[in-house]
Amino acid sequence: MTHSAPRPATRADLPGILAIYNASIPAHMSTADLTPQQLPARQAWWDQRDHATRPVLAMEESGRVIAWGAFTNFKDRAAYAPTAEVSVYVDPSAVGRGVGRVMLDALLARTTECGIDRIIALCFAHNEASVRLFGSRGFTEWGRIPDACDMDGVRRTVVMLGKVMQ
């Protein structure tokens, strides 16, 4: 199947974005959330962001969202504006097909217009696929938070990967 190029997400994409996010929770690989989010929380997340500088992108296949990615503020204080956190989520049906790479590349291509020159990706150390993906795009390890998360009784280390945009 052929997927679309990443495009700016719309509010109509939120159910698909939410479904992909919630599908990632049980695996404990991509998010520290332990219970599924509800649509009102995702709508608030959408409404509270500056889409010009912290865009959300979506990819479709056969009219269905199969991946999304976003920049979020690293911190909400004004001086941190040039630094953003990046997130990429892929529907389980599209994993292993290069969709995450395409989404990450599309986000990286928008850094200048978003006023971003430092990007941070927070990954669980055991999520080797994500660590590899970011490493393939020039991210390096900037730090670790040992045993930062308790995932149903299993402690997980968070790796901070970063990239300086030129």
CATH number of the domain encompassing residue 66: 3.40.630.30
Please say whether the dihedral angle defined by the alpha carbons of residues 103, 108, 112 and 114, taken in this order, is positive or negative.
positive
Its pTM stands at 0.94
Residue 166 pLDDT > 90: no
Work out the mean pLDDT of the chain and round it to a whole number: 94
Residue 111, token pair as written in the block: 């850094």
Burial label, 155 (beta-carbon count in 10 A; 0-12, 13-18, 19+): exposed
Please count the structural domains in the chain: 1
Q: Which amino acid is at 28?
A: H
- Asked if 158 and 126 count as a contact pair (C-beta separation under 8 A), the reply is no
Q: Is 52 within a domain?
A: yes
In this prediction, residue 108 carries a pLDDT of 98
Q: Is 166 within a domain?
A: no
Q: How many CB atoms are closer than 10 A to CB 117?
A: 15
Residue 45, token pair as written in the block: 């997340």
Q: Which amino acid is at 23?
A: A
Q: Is 89 within a domain?
A: yes
- Give the residue numbers spanning the domain of 92: 7-119
